[in-house]
Chain A
Amino acid sequence: MVGQVEDTEAGDVVARRLRELGFVAGEPVRVVASGPFGRDPLLVQIGYTRFALRRPEAARVRLVDEPQP
């Protein structure tokens, strides 16, 4: 589950875009696949959509454990 998306610098466009695409707190995420070279980029499922993220992009997404029911 997404905890938050961290800016690596002030006005980080990548982080802003990630949030707009639905990487917001409480959203379940899953890595579905990874690229053939150096396991990069990552294919990440969020909501009903899949995005390809390079590792430095994916690293902005801080994860937290899903609360146990």
Chain B
Amino acid sequence: MNATAPALHAALVGSPNCGKTALFNRLTGGRAKVANYAGVTIERKEGRLETPAGRQVRVLDLPGAYSLDAASPDEVITRDVCAGRLAGEAAPDLIVCVLDATNLRLHLRLALELAQLGRPMLVALNMMDVAQRRGIRIDIDRLQAGLGVPVVATVAVRHGGAADLLAALDRGAARVPPAAPAGGDLHARVRALLAEAVTMPRATAAIDDAIDAVVLNRVAGLAILALVMFLIFQAVFSWAAPLQDAVAAGVAGAGEWVGSLLGSMPLLQSLVTDGIFAGLGTVLEFLPQILVLFLFILVLEESGYLPRAAFLLDTLMFRAGLTGRSFIPLLSSFACAIPGIMATRSIADPRDRLTTILVAPLMTCSARLPVYTLLIAAFIPRRDVFGIFNLQGIVLFVLYLAGIVSALAVAWVIKRLQRDRSEHMLLMELPSYRLPDPRSILLGLWERALIFLRRVGGILLSLTILLWFLSSFPAPPEGATLPPIDYSYAGHIGRWMTHVFAPIGFNWQICIALIPGLAAREVAVSSLATVYALSAASEEAAAAALGTTIAAQWSLATALSLLAWYVFAPQCMSTLAVIRRETNGWRYVWISAVYLFALAYLASFITYQLTLALA
């Protein structure tokens, strides 16, 4: 082969859970270009690789599909790309069909369907390590003969586990499968192939049966689920703390150092320390929390537990107008509604999908954690409860719970409002349990961290600078007695907004912070910091922590009201943009923005008035 030959265009196709993504990462070294297919919102992942012999290959990771007879938008993409029918997408030169060696009865059918397309094809028999461990014997030669295309064994999670596949690419081993007898029964052919080439000692892994007996048990299973979720919240709240402190100290130090260089230019110095670094620090500080949360979600996803959780919760979710499958997108929404809403693509039923998208912003995303953390630390005493929990953790748990309960209630209402009452589909595979692969987890964490920083970085910087401008200009008049921000544009806007927000106890500083908070929730805290740092009459007061400031200046009712506000918090613009993208129109953007605002206002109003009445 020579390096100047045009790159080979290969597409990875396989049923869900065959290890396709792991294989893609193994082949491409985890470097992928992630985008969307033209006109639709399904993720398109493409990477490049060079075979040992120097051949360039472009690899496309297609969405998982059980069949080419598509039942969901994902499967439509897979079908159309394979058939070379998707506009703007060249037909692949070669199809790599990925099969899970431990689940051949299900997966071989797709291989046979793909073979009927008459394109050059290779079969990657993945998870061979697991198959061996379980004593499954597969006669690759016979399988190859039966399918009429080359079959290679792969172990996507092992270093060098795709060597045979690479060698096959180098050899140009892919073949156009022989035409199958027309109208043949695919299931009959699968059975014949299995009888000829595969020996299964047991239909399922013994360990899966044992784990499922406990995890799906109606008492133990629910207890485990509750425990897992509770553990996540405690971890997010306490494990990440030392890391957060380190990040905060680092950024503050850097800000002071840069600021000291600008000592001769007070305005610029103020911009750098009060605007840029203050904002950056507050947000970077929450990166550890977000990573801890994603760590849990990724481990649960990789281990195969998430579909079990969906199984346990399906009936409850179904009664509320959702589906067990909404569980995964909704759980992801705890980290951020954006990946969560994007994950709803795996929900086949469009009505279930829409409902899930509409309630996803009610899941407490990690961007709200900064606000929660600040307010809880300032207003809720750190008191032990039953010796093991502390009151702060419990309040946080209650806030999360409030989000969940209202999501269920909203979904229930949407279900009543829907006109199309035909049946909703569940039909979900429960995959085998697996030990999470550290490499995949790290890659996943890395991807998420980048998304978070990119999404936050740009918005945050421009907004903190805008806010700094609004709160610094115009400068206070000669002989002014109040803090300078009182005379600024921000002061005016904030005071105007208090007409609307006074009944729910928000002062004008909060009102100012709400403006950028709408654009990106995580910015609200840094805006508060900016507002208060600037409104402090002296340097010492500015240096004091924001927490202490608000603890002294706000009433408990205001703090609780703001917490309640953020349970619903009319979402950030990025979320709205994603909803617009995922629903292909503005209608649902408006619906969700308006209903969230109404709920937030109502909840805060009740909380504020109730606290006042009780206090």
Contacts and interface: CB of A to CB of B under 8 A. Distances in A.
A50 B222 contact: no
B385 interface: no
A45 B208 CA distance: 12
A35 B204 contact: no
A57 B307 CA distance: 18
A52 B109 contact: no
B450 interface: no
A17 B425 contact: yes
Interface residues of A, number: 31
Contact of B426 (A13, A47, A52): A52
Contacts of A14: 423, 425, 427
B314 A53 contact: no
Contact of B425 (A13, A35, A50): A13
Contact of A36 (B104, B312, B428): B312
B205 to A, nearest CB: 9
Contacts of B314: 35, 40-41, 52, 54
B311 A52 contact: yes
Nearest to A23: B187
Contact of A49 (B105, B219, B310, B423): B105
22 contacts: A17-B71, A17-B425, A21-B427, A22-B106, A22-B187, A32-B212, A33-B213, A33-B217, A35-B312, A37-B316, A38-B315, A41-B311, A43-B212, A47-B203, A48-B200, A49-B103, A50-B204, A52-B426, A52-B427, A52-B429, A56-B423, A57-B426
A33 B214 CA distance: 11
Given A20-B109, A49-B106, 9 more contacts: A13-B425, A17-B427, A21-B66, A35-B312, A45-B204, A49-B103, A49-B105, A51-B428, A54-B314
B56 interface: no
A52 B66 contact: no
B78 to A, nearest CB: 14
Contacts of B221: 36
The 5 closest A-B pairs by CB, nearest first: A36-B218, A47-B105, A37-B315, A20-B67, A52-B428
Contacts of A1: none
Interface residues of B, number: 38
Nearest to B188: A24
Task: Tell me the dominant secondary structure on chain A's binding face.
Answer: mixed
A51 B67 contact: no
A22 B427 contact: no
Nearest to A13: B71
A47 B102 CA distance: 11
A45 B205 CA distance: 12
Contact of A52 (B203, B222, B324): B324
Interface in B92-140: 102-106, 109
Contacts of B310: 52
Q: Which of A21, A36, A45 has the largest number of chain B CB atoms within 10 A?
A: A36
A21 B106 contact: yes
Given A45-B203, A52-B430, A40 B105 contact: no
Contacts of A27: 187
A18 interface: yes
A56 to B, nearest CB: 6
Interface of A: 8, 13-14, 16-18, 20-22, 24, 27, 32-33, 35-38, 40-41, 43, 45, 47-54, 56-57
A54 B318 contact: yes
Contact of B69 (A20, A35, A38, A41): A20
Given A21-B106, A32-B212, A41-B311, A51 B429 contact: yes
Nearest to B319: A37
A20 B109 CA distance: 8
A57 B315 CA distance: 13
Interface string B435-468: 0000000000000000000000000000000000
B106 A47 contact: yes
B312 A22 contact: no
A48 B105 contact: yes
Contacts of B102: 48
B216 interface: yes
B430 A50 contact: yes
A61 to B, nearest CB: 12
Contact of B427 (A18, A33, A35, A37): A18
A16 to B, nearest CB: 7
A51 B430 contact: yes
Contact of B315 (A13, A24, A35, A56): A35
Given A14-B423, A17-B425, A33 B216 contact: yes
A50 B17 CA distance: 13
B66 A49 contact: no
Nearest to B317: A37
B204 A43 contact: no
Contacts of A43: 212, 216, 311, 430
